[in-house]
Structure 1
Amino acid sequence: MRPLDPKGRDDYYRRVADVLIAQIKNGTAPWVQSWEAGERVQPYNLASGKAYRGGNATWLASVSEMRGYQDERWGTYRQIQEAGGQVRRGQKGASIIYWQWEKRRLARDGNGKPVLDEKGQPAYEVAKLERPRSYMYTVFNAEQASGLPPRPLREGGHQWERNERAELVVENCGAEVEHTHQDRVFYDLGRDRIVMPHREQFPNPAGYYQSLLHELGHWTGHPERMNRETLVEGIQQGPKSLEYAREELRAEISSMMTGDRLDIGHDGSRSAAYVDFWVKTLQDHPQEIHLASRDAQLISDYVMERGRTQEVEAGGDRQARTPSPPAAEAPAVPGLPPAVVPPASSGEQMRLFQRGRSMADRARAAVEEDRAAAISR
């Protein structure tokens, strides 16, 4: 572990962005690819069993794709040794960022004297840092080491069980889903509902739920929920804007994360329309992939928390191993022509935005406190 100054962070973000730009262009970025249920899992720490989060998760998945790793387990050199393995000579690790938002310190009373616990020992408290600190860790994939136990098999369950879990999560979230005989999948902000073709129009159940999770990601951005700026501004600026593409990036990465947690796979075909926008955004703002991944993690967490009660009973969240406006759309169902959603008035959009201003403050506070880069130490 080593501390990172602002220049070090900027250099790191640029290196990560350059790799992901190349992967976006050739269709191998993690969220651009499609994969079936059981084929992929988010990278996780082999010592804690907890999935990496936010930008670290996206970056390690990218490294796995670049180097051809099939094992999802990662750990520091010491963690691998403690697990009975040994990193082979000449192996190159991957760098990730850990953000420290608070520190443990001696508790003191109003006079500055140390506080003792009931056993007479010094008591400690956790204090929030005025300026969060960032550190860089080097981690290695399990395939770079020898002597580790085999990768645990993933228990995906039957297809109907996976569909049931996804259905329960959507139902418990409280999102209004309207099924119509039309050809588009989109979230309508003005009416606050997701509009879907009927289930039988999809080639299989997984395709239906993968599309629904993408739109559920947009749904979380409503002013009365997370009030995500990229959703509101993206819709105001229209589908050809960079802001719209930034919102799509968040929805796509979040649907990948949630699809992995529910083991229903991921459909990356929606990404093609936004490749040029994403490339330009990362070229101009290398940190964007980490910001988008952080927001995507919060979206996925929000969806899973809202749907957790019955979902855990039905099989569990595997990662717990820890204005009507132009809608935010996904591409049409294969073989069907596109549809258009008529715009709503600017007054309606402003009403929604003002109503959710307090929610925006809460969401920003949550982002500041999110430890998206944390790993087990």
Structure 2
Amino acid sequence: MRKMSWSKEKKKAYGKAKTEASKATWYENLAAGIKDNNVPWRKPWKGGATMPRNLKSKKTYRGGNIVALWFWGLSRGYTDLRFATRKQLIEKGYNIKGLKNGEGCLIKFAKTSNYKVEDKDTGEETMRSGFVTRWYEVFCVEQCEDYEAPEVKDEDLSVTPESDMMESFYGYVDSQDTLTLERQGSRAFYRVSGDLIRLPAHADFETQLGEVMTAMHEAVHSTGHPKRAERNLASKFGSPEYAYEELVAELGALIVTLSLGGEFNPYVLQEEHANSQAYLKHWLDACKNQDSALDKAFSQAQAAADFILNNCSVEEEVIA
């Protein structure tokens, strides 16, 4: 039987349709998770070992991919959050028999690409650059027939102490010239007008973890200052814009905390932060383009987390 050949245009159209379908599924799952309050940043986690990572590169996924993989793994009961494409699984010696298309999780990969553009009038070619987004299906190692749970070492289970986490927080505050920290009152907040983080006194927190979680949440808010990542921090409490910033802060705090190897538990946050789900749902419902809004939120959360992680090192005192 003669094999049908597709024209270049038909292949391009098919690829575009497949990409659009992948995008739609990806965003639908995330939007549903937010509305149902079934999202990673609303659940307890321990240590950096729980971060979804690539099997081959061992690198942690970023931005929206973290959320997508966590959400996907949570709903299926997986605990070994190492992911890979079919090709990568084969390279690592895994048996992929039985893995079918559509049974994995879709993630997106964006990179800068250079391409040629031809002038229709002169025929002259010029080089341009832009972002190219590709969608890949990855599978959890637990889906493979020959999967064996890896030997867990003591260091893999260790969690960074709360005292060390707070030192990282103080290191971030000290690294910013205008950022001020006050320890007083009963509420925690960040005020952009004075570039001020206010936290209750250490003794006023019921748990050390509650102090860490609250501090990291406010630290992410502080990255929205015009001198840093610059986000809209002037929104009214309860508004869709307020809910958007809370999403950035919640997800950003999750990334920072687990990247530092600490424990993450949203249940110990102050009440005004822990009860932001209703505002978040309201924000998502109000978005005309939910895909674009979610994309922006995840991107800004990752940027905020990166900013803190790059500026939270504690300088050791040199004793002569």
TM-score bin (small chain): 0.7 to 0.9
Residue 19 (1) aligns with residue 19 (2): no
Note if contact 2:186-2:200 (Cα within 8 Å) is conserved in structure 1.
yes
- TM-superposed CA distance for 1:54, in Å, is 1.0
Matched with 1:101 is: 112
One-letter identity of the residue aligned with 1:306: N
1:173 to partner: Cα distance: 3.5
C-alpha contact 1:54 1:297 (8 A) present in aligned 2: yes
Amino acid at match of 1:15: T
Partner in structure 2 of residue 326 of structure 1: none
Mark the CA change 1:87 to 1:308 in structure 2 (over 3 Å): closer, same or farther: farther
Are 1:142 and 2:102 counterparts?
no
Residue in 2 that maps onto 1:47: 56
Contact 1:163 1:206 in 2 (8 A): no
Residue of structure 1 equivalent to 2:241: 243
Residue in 1 aligned with 2:161?
Answer: 159
Q: Which consecutive residues of structure 1, in runs of 5 or more, have no partner in the other structure?
A: 106-127, 312-377
Structure 2 residues without counterparts, runs of 5 or longer: 1-10, 117-126, 268-272
Amino acid at match of 2:138: V
- Deviation, 1:83, is 1.7
More RCO (CA 8 Å, sep 6+): 1
Q: What is the CA distance between 1:167 and its match in structure 2? A: 4.1
**Aligned residues with identical type, % of pairs:** 25
Q: How many residues align?
A: 282
Alignment partners' CA distance in 1, 2:60 and 2:227: 29
Does the 8 Å contact 1:45/1:75 carry over to 2? yes
For 1:259, the equivalent position in structure 2 comes to 257
> Within 5 Å, which residues of 2 pair with 1:60-71?
60-71=69-80
In the alignment, the residues of structure 1 paired with residue 167 and residue 134 of structure 2 have an alpha-carbon distance, to the nearest angstrom, of 37
SS at match of 1:263: coil
CA distances 1:194-235 after superposition (whole Å, capped 9, x unpaired):
01111122122121111111111110111111212x32xxx2
Within 2, Cα distance between the matches of 1:150 and 1:98? 28
Give yes or no for contact 1:163–1:205 (8 Å, CA) kept in 2: no
The answer to which of 21-30 and 134-143 deviates more is: 21-30
Amino acid at match of 2:228: R
Q: Deviations over 1:2-57 (max 9, x none)?
A: 98977655544432232223322332211122x15338622111111111111111
Q: Call closer, same or farther: CA 1:60–1:272 in 2, change over 3 Å.
A: same
Amino acid at match of 2:42: V
Change (3 A) 1:172 1:50: farther
Alpha-carbon distance between aligned partners in 2 of 1:65 and 1:292, rounded to the nearest angstrom: 21
Work out the CA distance in 2 between the residues paired with 1:240 and 1:6.
38
- Distance across 2 between alignment mates of 1:219 and 1:260: 19
Verify: 1:305 aligned to 2:310, yes or no.
Answer: yes
CA RMSD, Structure 1 to Structure 2 (Å): 3.1
Specify the alignment match of 2:180 in structure 1: 176
The alpha-carbon distance between structure 1 residues 276 and 257, as it changes in their structure 2 partners (threshold 3 A), is same
Aligned to 2:300: 295
TM-score (norm 2): 0.77
Superimposed CA distance per residue, residues 321-367 of structure 1 (whole angstroms, 9 cap, x where no aligned partner) = xxxxxxxxxxxxxxxxxxxxxxxxxxxxxxxxxxxxxxxxxxxxxxx
**Alignment correspondent of 1:219:** 222
